[in-house]
Homo-oligomer: A and B are copies of this chain.
Amino acid sequence: MTSILEKVNQPQDLKNLSMEQLTALSNEIREVIIHKVNATGGHLAPNLGLVEATVAMHYVFNSPEDKMVYDVSHQCYTHKILTGRKENFLDPAKYQAISGYTNPQESAHDSFFVGHTSTAPSLAVGLAKARDLQGQKHNIIAVIGDGSLSGGEAFEGLDNAAELNSNIIIVVNDNDMCIAPNSGGLYRNLTQLRQTKGAAPCNFFKSLGLDYVYVDDGHDMQALVQAFKQVKDTPRPTVVHIHTVKGKGCPAAQNDPETFHFIAPGQLTEAPSAPQPTYASLTVDYLLEKRRQDPRIITITPATPGAYGLTPQMRAQFGDGFTDVGIAEEHAVAYASALAKGGAKPVLQVLSSFVQRTYDQLSQDWALNNNPAVLLVHWGGISGGDATHLGCFDIPLISNIPNIVYLAPTGKKEYLAMLDWALKQNKYPVAIRVPFGPVADNGASEEKDYSLLNKFQVVTPGSEVAVLGLGNFLHLGQAVCRQLQETAGIKPTLINPRYMSGLDGELLESLKANHRLVLTLEDGCLSGGFGEKVASFYGNSSMRVLNFGAQKEFTDRIPLDQLYTRFHLTKELICQDALACLKTLK
């Protein structure tokens, strides 16, 4: 362990250090972060940009009495190192014991579980108001990146912060980057403010009624400490706009902050492996080909184009046929709907966890208007990831909105066929849950025309038991069928429902003739999902129905195999439940 960090365990350990020591400590922390993140994977560039500012904040303010709220909290590693959690960055055996985001269960220095963007101003306003109602006096500090400012919730929070007649400090960490380059007129104003060292008279923050302080070098400890001392205990809502370098101190990340925003283990030190086809790359290839034929095709991403294989090179190939709207999911949905209304062919790509940010836009701007935009939902499915980024709520979210056709392809060919149909048709708002995992085909045959809504597909006819394997889980359904045959001599009917937003009443009705049990398998939360609708359908009959999927809970970094066991999502456990149910029938 290096010399200064060795003696720093809590924020108070900073208080007697000199500016030089604080700077040296920052350099040590930076090395620790680079080493640890390269080992485990994680957010690299955002953390490197905020090392000095975090050290300066903990030097000037008194956490946890003073409250710090980190937006997204993907830049909180220095904060964690300084608040009792440095061993989790130094000792490989303890790497996995903490989350990559702030987490109140880990430390009193963390006020909130945070993982989605643009929430810090609002959360900080709430803490400030609670303080005021109780006659307390501490500082409330929100830390938000320039990229997150484009999100509507951040604007609502800033606008309302100005209505507080009391202390709130909003540190704007401006590295002139979102995950990808920023999008939005606001960023021209930030550029102007950086160029004039904060003196430009037209100032977004001041236009919202906020006091304003500018720090030109967000890595200069002296300047940071001075600025934070200046605003400490201010009785006014105040922005401290600090200019930082994303990826600071790591040449690879500094040169290519988009690629090194979040890295895989070893990404800094190992040669990249040859790219494999993914559902993202299939999508890009397909859309690019379509775009060459039809200039009305446009693909839209809200701030995470890289997640869909839309690298800068690919984006250039789309030209006018690509819009990254920045962190602005709500705008993205309304924009896509209006593009379709205006005669264009929009394909909006969103991650399952972030599509949550747009319910009202999906419903009002899109579904109610019945505009034939196409929505691709990526990374939908039960995951072993962070509670803030689960992909298991999009089926209840989207499939219960009227008018939307929500499709569940099971593999490559079916996915591309559905995408092709969705783009060709002009009648429905169509959402597709892009399969998750390695590219595969699962035995379902694709069709050209999906306009006969809610027509389920019988993959293998059988009797006694019918297995509805939805989307990603058709393969699980196949395994269950094999297992039932092998262990109980039952030859079940395997069905690919294909549609998540409606039922095939005719097919379900016909199953009554020679089936006694229906199993539904869905890669998402059961509550409000697909299986419950099937159970409701059979409510007036003697058909038994067992629904398999995720329970309603925010699971946090629980390995997928453990979740599958917990939720009875293995072929063995499903068969066991099925046979137990059949037994009650005689």
Q: Which residues of A contact B (CB under 8 A)?
A: 67, 104, 111-116, 119, 122-127, 129-134, 150-163, 183-186, 188-189, 201-204, 206-210, 237, 295-296, 298, 320-321, 323, 325-326, 328, 330-331, 334-344, 346, 356-361, 363-365, 367-369, 387-388, 393, 396-397, 399-403, 525-529, 531-533, 535-536, 538-542, 544-547, 552-554, 581, 584
Contacts and interface: CB of A to CB of B under 8 A. Distances in A.
A203 B207 contact: yes
A501 to B, nearest CB: 8
A323 B159 CA distance: 13
Copies of the chain in the assembly: 2
B130 A554 contact: no
Contacts of A188: 162, 209
Contacts of A399: 527-528
A150 B397 CA distance: 25
A133 B321 contact: yes
Contacts of A388: 364, 368
B554 A368 contact: yes
Given A123-B337, A159-B328, A162-B184, 9 more contacts: A119-B334, A123-B334, A133-B321, A152-B155, A186-B207, A358-B360, A359-B360, A368-B387, A539-B547
A184 B204 contact: no
Contact of A158 (B185, B320, B539): B185
B185 A359 contact: no
Given A130-B338, A186-B208, A323-B129, A160 B328 contact: yes
Nearest to A551: B402
B539 A546 contact: yes
A176 to B, nearest CB: 15
A191 B203 CA distance: 16
Contacts of A133: 295-296, 298, 320-321, 339, 344
A382 to B, nearest CB: 13
Given A184-B163, A393-B400, A127 B331 contact: no
Contacts of A209: 184-186, 188-189
Q: Which of A323, A331, A527, A532 has the most CB of B within 10 A?
A: A331
B536 A123 contact: no
Contacts of A119: 334, 361, 364-365
B153 A339 contact: no
Contact of A156 (B131, B206, B325, B553): B325
Contacts of A325: 156, 160
A122 B159 contact: no
Contact of A400 (B115, B343, B527, B544): B527
Given A133-B295, A162-B184, A186-B208, A338 B125 contact: yes
Q: What 6 pairs between A and B have smallest CB-CB spacing?
A: A152-B152, A162-B185, A126-B338, A185-B209, A130-B342, A400-B528
A121 to B, nearest CB: 8
A402 B554 contact: yes
Contact of A338 (B122, B321, B541): B122
Contacts of A203: 202, 207
Contact of A535 (B131, B162, B525, B536): B536
A131 B295 CA distance: 12
Contacts of A365: 112, 119, 122-123
A341 B159 contact: no
B202 A126 contact: no
Contact of A207 (B159, B207, B298, B369): B207
